[in-house]
Structure 1
Amino acid sequence: MTPLFDLGFDFLALLAAACVYFFLCWLIARKIDNWSIVDVAWSYGFALVGLKLLSVHFYDKPLGGQGLLMTLATIAWSLRLGTHLAVRVLGHLNKEDGRYLQMRAEAGARMPWQMAYFYFLQAVALALLCLPLLSSSPYAATSPIRPVHWIGLGIVALALVIEGVADAQLAAFKKDVTQKGQVCERGLWAWSRHPNYFGEWLVWVGFVLMSYNATYRGIPGLACALIMYHLLTRVTGVALTERQLVASKGDAYVDYQRRVSAFWPRPPRP
C-alpha cells in the first residue's frame, strides 16, 4: 500500500472512532444539560490519539525521531489545553459557557439536535486536524529529527507561553470584583481581543514545521493550520465569542472592538 493510502485509511478509522467518542459526549452533555463539555472532549481527543501512537511506538513499530517529537508535543499541548478547560467547565457544571447560552437562545427546543450536528462537526474537525500527527506515524512515514523540527518545537513552546499568560491574565481580571462587567484590557488583551486564540493558532504553525518529512513535506500540517485559522476566526472562536460578549458587555465591548485588533497582536488604536 502507498503512504497516501495508509494515511487515508488511518484518517477514516480515526473519524469513525471520533464519531463514537463525540456521540458519547453528546449523550453525557444532554444528560447533565451542559453543552460546554465538548470543548474539554475536543481538546483531550488529540492526547488520546497521541497516546495511541505511543502505544504503537512501544509495542509494535517504533516512531521515527520526527514522529516521536511531534507526538510528544501534541500530547503536551492537548493536555495543557484540555486541563485548563476541564478546570473551568467541570468545576462549574451549573454554569454553561456564554457561547452555548447564546446558541440556546437562538435554537430553542431544537438545541439538542443542533448540538448533535455541532458535535459531529467536532468529530470531523478532530480527525482532520490529526492529519499532521497521523502523517508522522510509523505506518505513514519515518524521519529523523532535523533543524526544522526544533524550530517548530520552539514556535509551539512560545505559543503555549502566550496561551498560558493570556489565560492567567484573564483569570486574574475575572477575580477582581472591582472590574465586574468591564472588559479585560490587561497585558496581552490590550493588543489583541483574543490572544489565547492567537496563541492556539501559533501552535499549529509550529506543527506545520514539526510534521515535515520526506513523504508528506508538511502539507497536512499546512492544511490544518489554515483550517484552524478559519475555525478560530470565523466559526467557533472569535466570531461566536464576540457575539456573546457584545450581547453581555454592550457599548464597552463595542468600543474595545474599535480600538483593539480582533486576532493579530498590535498596539491599540487611540
Structure 2
Amino acid sequence: MSGLDSILAASVVLSAMMAVAWAVQRATGQSGWADVFWSFAIGIGGLVTALMAAGDGPIERRWLVAGMVVFWSMRLGFHILARTATATAEDPRYADLRREWGDRFQARLFLFLQIQALCGIGLVATVYAAAHRPGPAFAAADWIGLALLIVSVVGEGVADGQLRAFAADPANHGKVCDRGLWRWSRHPNYFFEWLGWLAYPVIAISVTGGWWPGWLALVGPLLMYWLLVHVSGIPPLEAHMLRSRGDAFRSYMARTSAFFPLPPRKA
C-alpha cells in the first residue's frame, strides 16, 4: 500500500482501539484504561506505517524504526496497565472530567478519546517519515535516533520507578516527591516521553533535502510537547496536585522546573 494508505489504515486502528477503550472503561468504571489502549494503538499504528507501506527506504531502517516504536509502546503500555489494574481510585485527570461533565461524561469521553486517536495520526505519520527515508541503512542518524529513544525509555522508567518507590513509603503520605529526577523537573517522565519523539526526526530528516516527507517527523515532538505541557499532561495533573498537596506543591513549583530538567532554584 502507499504511504498515505498506510497512515489511513493506522488511523482506523487508532479509532477502533479507542472505541474499545471507551467500552472497557464504561464496563469497569476505570478510565485509566484509555491510556493503556492509546499506548498500544500507537505501537500498532506505527508498525503498519513502518512495515506495510511501499517506500524507498531500506528494509533494515523500516525494521529499526518499527522496533523503536514497539519498544516505546510496550514499555509505556504495560507500565500504565500495571498501574491501572491495581488502582483503587480513578486517575485524577479522568475523575475531574467525570465530575465536570456529569451526566454527559460517557458521550463526551467517547469524543475525547476519538480526538486522542486523531492526534495519534500525527505520531504514526512521524514513524512513517523515519522508516522510509532513502539512503544506506544504519547511518549515523539511525544510531543517534536509536540512542535517543533508549535514553528516553530508560529515563522515563527511572522517573516512574522513583515516584513509585516514594509513594510506596507510608512516611511520604501527603508529601511531594522531590527526589532523584523529580528534584530537577516536576514532570521528568513527561520530559523523557517527549525526548523519545525527537529520535524520529533525527532519522527522518535528510540534510541534503532529498526526502521532503522527512520533515513530517517534526509533527511528533511538536505534538507531544503541546499535549504534555499545555493540554492533557501538566495542566490537569498540577491542578489536582494543588488541590491535594496545597502549599507543599506550591513550594515545589517555586523551586523546580516544570518540564526541562534544570538545577533546583532556591525557594
Q: Normalising to structure 1: TM-score of the pair?
A: 0.89
Aligned with residue 221 of structure 1, among 204, 217, 229: 217
Rate the CA distance shift 1:81–1:135 in 2: closer, same or farther, 3 A. Answer: same
Aligned with residue 238 of structure 2, among 228, 236, 242: 242
Letter of the 1:95 counterpart: A
What is the deviation of 1:115? 0.7
What's the counterpart of residue 158 of structure 2?
165
Query: Deviation digits for residues 67-88 of structure 1, max 9, x if unmatched?
Result: 2111111111110011111100
What's the counterpart of residue 97 of structure 2?
103
- The unaligned stretches of length 5 or more in structure 1 are none
Report the 3-state secondary structure (helix = DSSP H, G, I; strand = E; otherwise coil) of the residue aligned with 1:181: coil
Rate the CA distance shift 1:166–1:108 in 2: closer, same or farther, 3 A. Answer: same
Letter of the 1:44 counterpart: F
What's the counterpart of residue 82 of structure 1?
77
Confirm or deny: 8 A CA contact 2:159 2:188 kept in the other structure. yes
Count of aligned positions: 260
What is the deviation of 1:171? 0.4
Report the 3-state secondary structure (helix = DSSP H, G, I; strand = E; otherwise coil) of the residue aligned with 1:29: helix
CA distance in 1, matches of 2:160, 2:245: 19
What's the counterpart of residue 265 of structure 2?
269
CA distance in 2, matches of 1:235, 1:75: 25
Aligned 1:52-201 pairs, distance under 5 A: 52=48, 56=52, 64-92=59-87, 94-136=88-130, 142-143=134-135, 144-201=137-194
Letter of the 1:228 counterpart: M
Letter of the 1:167 counterpart: D
Letter of the 1:27 counterpart: A
CA distance in 2, matches of 1:122, 1:102: 18
Report the 3-state secondary structure (helix = DSSP H, G, I; strand = E; otherwise coil) of the residue aligned with 1:130: helix
Report the 3-state secondary structure (helix = DSSP H, G, I; strand = E; otherwise coil) of the residue aligned with 1:264: coil
What's the counterpart of residue 15 of structure 1?
11
> C-alpha root-mean-square deviation of aligned residues, in Å?
2.2
CA distance in 2, matches of 1:191, 1:159: 16
Rate the CA distance shift 1:165–1:244 in 2: closer, same or farther, 3 A. Answer: same
Query: Deviation digits for residues 118-160 of structure 1, max 9, x if unmatched?
Result: 10111111222111222355xx655422111111111111111
Report the 3-state secondary structure (helix = DSSP H, G, I; strand = E; otherwise coil) of the residue aligned with 1:218: helix
Percent of aligned positions with the same letter in both sequences? Answer: 34
Q: Normalising to structure 2: TM-score of the pair?
A: 0.90
Query: Deviation digits for residues 77-107 of structure 1, max 9, x if unmatched?
Result: 1100111111001222x42111111112221
Query: Deviation digits for residues 193-214 of structure 1, max 9, x if unmatched?
Result: 0000000000011122133465
CA distance in 2, matches of 1:88, 1:183: 19
Rate the CA distance shift 1:50–1:128 in 2: closer, same or farther, 3 A. Answer: closer
Letter of the 1:65 counterpart: E
Aligned with residue 205 of structure 1, among 198, 204, 209: 198
Report the 3-state secondary structure (helix = DSSP H, G, I; strand = E; otherwise coil) of the residue aligned with 1:135: helix
